[in-house]
Structure 1
Amino acid sequence: MKSCLIDTIFLSDKRKNLLLLLLEGPQTSDDIKDKLNVNWGAMIPQIKKLEEWDLITSKDRVYYLTDMGRAIANNSKQLLNILCVYENNQKYWATHDLSRIPTDLLDRIGELGPCKLLESDLAHVFDANKDVVEAMIDATFCGTLSNFFQPQYNKMYNTMIKNGCDLTLIYSQSVFDRILSEYVYDGTAELDDVKFLDWKNTKFYVIPDGLGITEISVTNNIVLLGLFDSDNRFDSRYILSSGDRSHQWGMELFAFLSKEAKRIETNVKD
């Protein structure tokens, strides 16, 4: 008896992996064996089931997705990516406020790919997170939008700037007001002690309160996302992701959240 389509796709890793492989293009039987590391005899009945649903076809031992097979495989891949992102850090996503992420980006959150949860131990929760520093220090571009300010990251930003990083910093109004009152560089500090506003290659912006997230930082290498928990409480943990699709997703969220940002004039000109 012919099984239902969803069972055909998701109840067999061999069938699921074959559909995803064929998204890359036509594959010979040898390609399938090598790339999926399977025994060809074990693949034949799986291929027949996909052929029964007209998801794949073949010619001269070369296998292709049909038009409908490609549409289903593409959407299956998107679902699997979302499930991977959610499953790997389920407790974080389930207990944090996602309302500031636009629906179209939330639907594509699988583009973040494999994510890592960065968290500081209690003894270092007020220090610069070493995993954050390691992920960002070599960036040539960095855009950060933040609802908090941690002076311990100044050293990291100074190093990035010395290395030629193009830096954009956006702070909420209340955070920016505190920075002005406590951390503005007065022109007398040594270079490594420069605190704020006169960093070269740096653009500063302020945005109205109510960002709805703790921070998003996007570099040419990584996306770093911090969210308030479901009770709107600050959380020092971050989701870290990398890759081209992740970068595009992060840039779109960064652009969406920073639409109302207004540039702050400083002594350093472009």
Structure 2
Amino acid sequence: MENSYLNLVLFSEKRKNILLLLKEGPKSLEELRNSLNASPTSVQPQIKLLKGRDLLCGTRKKYELTLLGDIIAENMQNLVNTMETLEDKYDFWANHKLDGIPLYLLKRIGELKHSTFTKPLDESSMFSPHTEFVENISKSKFVKGISPFIHPLYPEMFLNFAERGIDISLIVTEPVLERMKTEFRPEMEKFLALENTRLFVYDKELLLSSAVTDGFLSLGLFYNSGAYDHANDIICFGPEARQWGEDLYAYYEGLSREVKEI
């Protein structure tokens, strides 16, 4: 196993980084050396080893991945992204329930690599909306939300957004729908009367909250104890994270029934 691909790639930080750099596109020896902050004499032996196993090809003026090298680099990049995502916010992921995230999206958790935490506007109130959520949602062209609870400000807020032309699609639980019917009926009747709004009900327990727009993804989870974490939402602005959020929404919409009127 001395010459296995596992040993060749994963047990050498320099060789791993060379493959990941070439995944971005062809590079010269000088470009690789500068990116790695290494001398040519320390980089060239690693390139020779990778060329010897047909993972890259070319000359010092331009190295690029072979098809086999591209396959390995792609899977390695996914692994690196996943590990960095989990390590960056280890306490958050370890202390929260992940049951609400379907397995195929958990396997893509590395797409949330570039994320930060967003805090409530009013940290003295556990139910206060989060700062970045409120600031960014008003700039969006569409909003797709999933929520196991209802904030008193949300019915009027989402109605205002919809009346301004923002496409709004929401997934809520049966208890939340009942609260909408009794406590926020006027707002919800106006909301559902608009052409750019949709409302769905998920009949089972929702173990997360989420909002995805054309600009960002916001994700909230429950603690392992069962209590919802109102203080910390993950927020991401990159295209991969937004697609992850849209896929999460599509998953739950497919398991929900649409509500046309209340």
By the TM > 0.5 criterion, same fold? Answer: yes
Residue equivalent to 1:250: 245
Structure 1 CA distance, aligned partners of 2:39 and 2:210?
45
Structure 2 CA distance, aligned partners of 1:103 and 1:207?
18
What letter is aligned with 2:134? Answer: V
Structure 1 CA distance, aligned partners of 2:245 and 2:214?
10
Residue 191 of structure 2 is aligned to residue 196 of structure 1: no
Q: In 2, are the aligned partners of 1:145 and 1:258 still within 8 Å (CA)?
A: no
Q: In 1, are the aligned partners of 2:171 and 2:202 still within 8 Å (CA)?
A: yes
Q: In angstroms, what is the RMSD of aligned CA positions?
A: 2.6
Structure 1 CA distance, aligned partners of 2:147 and 2:189?
16
> Helix, strand or coil: the match of 2:185?
coil
Structure 1 CA distance, aligned partners of 2:9 and 2:211?
37
What displacement does 1:57 show?
2.4
Residue 188 of structure 2 is aligned to residue 171 of structure 1: no
Number of equivalent positions: 256
What displacement does 1:80 show?
0.6
Structure 1 CA distance, aligned partners of 2:212 and 2:220?
12
Structure 1 CA distance, aligned partners of 2:100 and 2:148?
13
Q: Deviations over 1:98-156 (max 9, x none)?
A: 12322222111112221212233741322221122123221101111111000223454
Gaps of 5+ in 1: 186-194
Residue equivalent to 2:88: 88
Q: TM-score, normalised by structure 1?
A: 0.83
- Summarize the Cα distance change of 1:162–1:178 in structure 2 as closer, same or farther, 3 Å threshold: closer
Moved more, 78-87 or 12-21: 12-21
- Summarize the Cα distance change of 1:197–1:227 in structure 2 as closer, same or farther, 3 Å threshold: farther
Q: How does 1:1-270 map to 2 (within 5 A)?
A: 5-6=5-6, 8-10=8-10, 12-33=12-33, 38-59=38-59, 61-120=61-120, 122-154=123-155, 156-185=157-186, 195-199=187-191, 200=194, 201-213=196-208, 215-236=209-230, 237-266=232-261
- Summarize the Cα distance change of 1:159–1:198 in structure 2 as closer, same or farther, 3 Å threshold: closer
Gaps of 5+ in 2: none
Structure 2 CA distance, aligned partners of 1:150 and 1:118?
17
Structure 1 CA distance, aligned partners of 2:150 and 2:118?
18
What displacement does 1:184 show?
1.6
> Helix, strand or coil: the match of 2:244?
helix
Q: In 1, are the aligned partners of 2:216 and 2:236 still within 8 Å (CA)?
A: yes
Q: TM-score, normalised by structure 2?
A: 0.85
- Summarize the Cα distance change of 1:3–1:260 in structure 2 as closer, same or farther, 3 Å threshold: closer
